Structures are given as structure tokens and as C-alpha cells.
Amino acid sequence: MSEKEFAVAVLAVNSLPFVDTVNVPANVGIAFVELSPRLTEVLPPARSVLQINRDDFSVEEVIRLYNVYVVEHLNEVAGLAHQLLREAQYQQRKKRQPQ
């Protein structure tokens, strides 16, 4: 990918609603995509920044990684939270029933 193509990709990624900033350190083959502050408030630090090899950098790749590392993670957390809530509600109902 040429420098111009990469710069265009960085601008496109930076305009995604879930992206705060894109950092591309000099002499490093990795771009860092920092997610929006609204997301970083609820995500573990390790999931708040996406790391993409410069050669693979594109809007499509950023969206793919966002889906894998953020959306799927949050779905798993929500699923667990719902399961624990159902268990707690069941336990509470069971305690209220006369024996």
C-alpha cells in the first residue's frame, strides 16, 4: 500500500463512529486505533485499542477486528450477565415459595 493509500485509509478509519483516534508511530509496522471514550469506559484496557499491521490496514480490517474483539466480547459479557440474573431471580423465587 502506498503512503497516499495508507493516509486515505487512516482518514477513513478515523471517521468511523467507534474510533477516537488513529496513531501510527514512525518506524513501526503497526497502527493503533483507539476506540471512542464511551467504549473505553466499559471495556477492559486491553480491548480499548485495536492493533493492526500497517500492511493489513483498511476500514474493512478495522471493522472486522472491532467485531471480533469488542462486539463479540460485549455479547459474551451480556450473555453471562443475563444468565447470572436469571439464576439470581430463580434463587429468589425459590426462597419465597412456602415449603
- Beta-carbon contacts of 49 under 8 Å, excluding residues fewer than 6 positions away, are 32, 33, 34, 35
Supply the pLDDT for residue 37: 96
- pLDDT tens digits for the chain (99 residues)? 888 999 999 999 999 999 999 999 988 899 999 999 999 999 999 899 999 999 999 999 999 999 999 999 899 999 999 999 999 999 999 888 876
Supply the pLDDT for residue 79: 95
Element containing residue 33 per DSSP (H, E): strand 30-35
